[in-house]
Amino acid sequence: MYFECEGINYPILINKKNNKNLYIRVDEKCNIKITCPYFYTNKMINKVLKDNIKSINKMIEKQKLKNQKSKKEDYCYLGKKLNIIYKPVKKPLYDGYKLILNDDLMLLKWYKQEAKKVFKIYLDEAYYVFDEKIPYPNLKIRQMKSRWGVCNRKTNSITLNLELIKKDKEFLNYVIVHELSHFVHFDHSKEFWKTVEKYCPEYKRVRKELK
């Protein structure tokens, strides 16, 4: 099955489960993923697709824009474009503009090494301006698909998405302030957002651009 949008056919992937409702989403490859109850027939699914054609078109366009944005950031460092040069070298060579390395594996390792240094600097800067009494968190870094940061109060740790090393510093600062604020309010209440705004006054704009 395929879904047509502006002359392009997008594959429809159906996953039947013991659900009460039908759900539609568009994945990174712009496949139309449908999760529905077992009793749904192809005819029923087609009807739902036709009834929601405008919404699905918007979902596809949104995913395309997201993919384009992600592609532009593939070779960025703190919001600035990297000039990648592949040469046989023992270790990455970076002069503030161009980065010389062996392959993409060395690039990933370089990103991780830089993230450890840069994230720690920004964590310290944000932590020491907090008026509230909060624990100094253990910093963890990993690649995440759907979250920029995670606060774990049980282990006194925050986890930051490695992809933040590619983005402008204001995004990194916002995510760190956001996660530190969870040590004050472990929810997304009005009081929580007041705390975020206290240390990141432009958070609304930054948060919107980060999505």
pLDDT of the residue at 68: 63
Domain co-membership, 111 together with 204: yes
Is 192 contained in some domain? Answer: yes
Both 118 and 185 in one domain: the answer is: yes
Are 18 and 63 found together in one domain? yes
pLDDT in the model for residue 73: 53
Rounded (10°) angle between helices 169-181 and 190-199:
140
pLDDT at site 101: 92
Q: What is the pTM of this model?
A: 0.68
- What is the domain extent for residue 9? 2-72
- Per DSSP, 137 falls in state P
Residues 108 and 205 in one domain: yes
Q: pLDDT at position 1, please?
A: 79
The DSSP secondary structure of 103-145, one letter per residue, reads SHHHHHHHHHHHHHHHHHHHHHHHHTT--S--PPPEEEEE--S
Query: 62 and 110 share a domain?
Result: no
CATH of the domain at 148: 3.30.2010.10
- Do residue 125 and residue 32 come from a single domain? no
* CA dihedral sign of residues 20, 22, 26, 28: positive
Q: Is the domain of 56 the same as that of 127?
A: no
- Per-chain mean pLDDT for the chain: 91
Residues in the chain where the model's pLDDT stays below 50: none
